[in-house]
Amino acid sequence: MVLKSKFHEKLLSDQFLITGEVSPPKGTDVSAPLKNAELIHTFADAINVTDNQCATMHMSSLAFSRLLVEKNYEPIMQLTCRDRNRIGLQADLLGASALGISNLLVMSGDHPATGDHPKAKAVYDLDSVQLLKTISQMKEGADMSGSRLNKSPAFCVGVVSNADPNERLQLMKLEKKLLFDVDFIQTQAIFDIEKFKEFLEKINVYDIPILAGIIPIRSIKMADYMNNHIPGISIPADIRERIECAENPEAEGILIAAELIYKLKSICRGVHMMPVGPHTNTKLVLQKAGVLE
């Protein structure tokens, strides 16, 4: 098997993997997000770079991923279908490969109506399944029109999924994605281990590394917002009660995240850390989980 990136090599090992999410700046000053990446780069196997997350305009994922490459970090460039047509998507894929960006996370992308430019036109020329097919075709040496490329890109490709075993349509879409050359899955935030086990049972036949999403809860307000407004997130009543009754909700959220990771270590290949805000407590969470010293 051809190794596509350092991260791909680790995916083929048996080690427990850690990825973390960083958002590019809304502006040209990259110091804060680079500092955020610096907080995790010594222990993260790769760093996701969001692509106009929540349909809110930021510096491009491609540009910021290149900045991480220049610092010898391992970026995973998120690529959504929302903002580009098939020409633009293919152009960015070629550009990413030429700039040394070897890991991708393919996503549909939140609708612009939910973001800071609600009048923006959603493109969605391709959906995430069609984009995966396009990437596979480009890796084989041709673009969507059938024209030959003078050199093929080589990407380690990931996809996202909710981890609710009862979401039949989401599972069907994931199964369509996995028909293509997919190397890993990152999930929405996990709070219910038993439901996550059911999800794993339904997709284990594909034998693809799965990294479970982790969001440390900082307050009861945050817990209720995620429960009510973010698709795919379901916070059990016992966790909500712990946050609500805690003298220090943020510290309790760190402990809950660590407990979840401790349980996940034996059932999936890694975790994807998605704090709301900087990675100030990410190392502490992983230490409490016994993943880091």
CATH value at residue 73: 3.20.20.220
The predicted structure's pLDDT at residue 80: 98
Q: Which domain holds residue 115?
A: 6-288
Write out pLDDT tens, residues 65-110: 999 999 999 999 999 999 999 999 999 999 999 999 999 999 999 9
Q: Is residue 272 within 8 Å of residue 7, measured between CB atoms?
A: no
Which has the closest alpha carbon to 126: 143, 141, 107?
A: 107
* DSSP assignment of 79-108: EESSS--HHHHHHHHHHHHHTT--EEEEE-
Report residue 41 as tokens. Answer: 């780069």
Q: Provide the pLDDT confidence category of residue 4 given band limits of 50, 70 and 90.
A: confident
Give the pLDDT of residue 1: 58
The residue-averaged pLDDT of 257-265 equals: 98
**71 within some domain:** yes
- Has this prediction a pTM greater than 0.85? yes
Q: Is 120 part of a structural domain of the chain?
A: yes
> pLDDT class for 240, splitting at 50, 70, 90?
very high
Domains of the chain: total: 1
Distance CA 13, CA 240 (A): 36
In a domain, 1, yes or no: no
What mean pLDDT value characterizes the chain? Answer: 96
Q: At 204, is the pLDDT very low, low, confident or very high (cuts 50, 70, 90)?
A: confident
Average pLDDT of the segment spanning 9-28: 97
